[in-house]
């Protein structure tokens, strides 16, 4: 199972690819899509969408996970972030990928174990879980964290389901 995590942003969109091998998560790739801040909006959204096409083509993930974004205090920033996120999600779905959304709270809970964890703790846990010797860029680390979140939450769900008894074809 290969998961592509995306951390959308108006200037920088992080991506991270991990493989799930048995119980282990294995680092495959990560990086950032950067858009020139002075370019026109359609050009910036095109770069995001096109780069995601390229990443999907290269790494062939089976599923995508993306961070839910905060509504910013600045409405123009919210609009811009929404547009970048919309372009990213459209590019993922156009490639036939199912896209799962996770809030920052869910990511922290899954990766660190508590919803109030600092950003640095999340990055530290990403490095530990994926056995990275170097710290990835912040946006790439966030993308890896959301990919890990998808795995950890599904793994947990499967474990819980496994613990439940089946009677007459139904969980009881």
CB of residue 86 to its own copies, shortest distance in Å:
3
Kindly state the smallest distance separating residue 44's Cβ from its own copies, in Å: 9
Rounded CA separation 102/134 (Å): 25
User: In the stretch 130-169, what mask flags binding to its own copies with x, by CB under 8 A?
Assistant: ----------------------------------------
92 counts as binding its own copies under rule CB under 8 A: yes
Give the tokens for residue 166: 């089946």
- For position 99 contacting its own copies by CB under 8 A, the verdict is yes
Whether residue 142 lies in the annotated active site: no
Angle at the Cα of 46 (from 45 to 49), degrees rounded to 5? Answer: 85
The alpha carbon of residue 79 and the mean position of all alpha carbons in its chain are separated, in whole angstroms, by: 20
User: Rounded to whole angstroms, how far apart are CA atoms 75 and 125?
Assistant: 33
Q: Is 84 in the site for its own copies (CB under 8 A)?
A: yes
Q: Does 83 bind its own copies (CB under 8 A)?
A: yes
134 given a catalytic annotation: no
* Bridge partner residues of 18 (DSSP): 3, 27
Instruction: Please enumerate, as own/partner, the contacts of 72-79 that have beta carbons within 8 Å and a separation of 24 or more.
Output: 77/10
The region of 54-62, 86-94, 115-123, 132-140 touching its own copies under the rule CB under 8 A is 86-94
Residue 25: name the closest of 47, 10, 3 by CA: 3
Q: Which residues bind its own copies (CB under 8 A)?
A: 40-43, 45-46, 48-50, 53, 69, 71-72, 75-76, 78-94, 98-99, 101
Catalytic residues: 7, 67, 139
């Amino acid at each position: 199972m290969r998961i592509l995590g995306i951390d959308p942003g108006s200037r920088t969109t992080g991506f991270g690819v991990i493989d799930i091998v048995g119980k282990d998560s294995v680092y495959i790739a990560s990086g950032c899509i950067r858009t020139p801040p002075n370019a026109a909006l359609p050009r910036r959204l095109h770069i995001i969408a096109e780069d995601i096409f390229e990443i999907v083509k290269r790494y062939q993930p089976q599923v995508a996970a993306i961070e839910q974004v905060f509504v910013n205090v600045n409405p123009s920033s919210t609009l811009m972030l929404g547009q970048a996120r919309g372009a990213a999600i459209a590019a993922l779905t156009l490639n036939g990928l199912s896209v799962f959304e996770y809030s920052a709270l869910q990511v922290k809970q899954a990766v660190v174990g508590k919803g109030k964890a600092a950003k640095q703790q999340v990055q530290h846990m990403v490095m530990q879980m994926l056995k990275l010797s170097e710290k990835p860029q912040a946006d790439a680390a966030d993308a890896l964290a959301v990919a890990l979140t998808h795995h950890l939450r599904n793994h947990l769900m499967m474990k819980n389901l496994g613990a439940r008894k089946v009677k007459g074809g139904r969980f009881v």
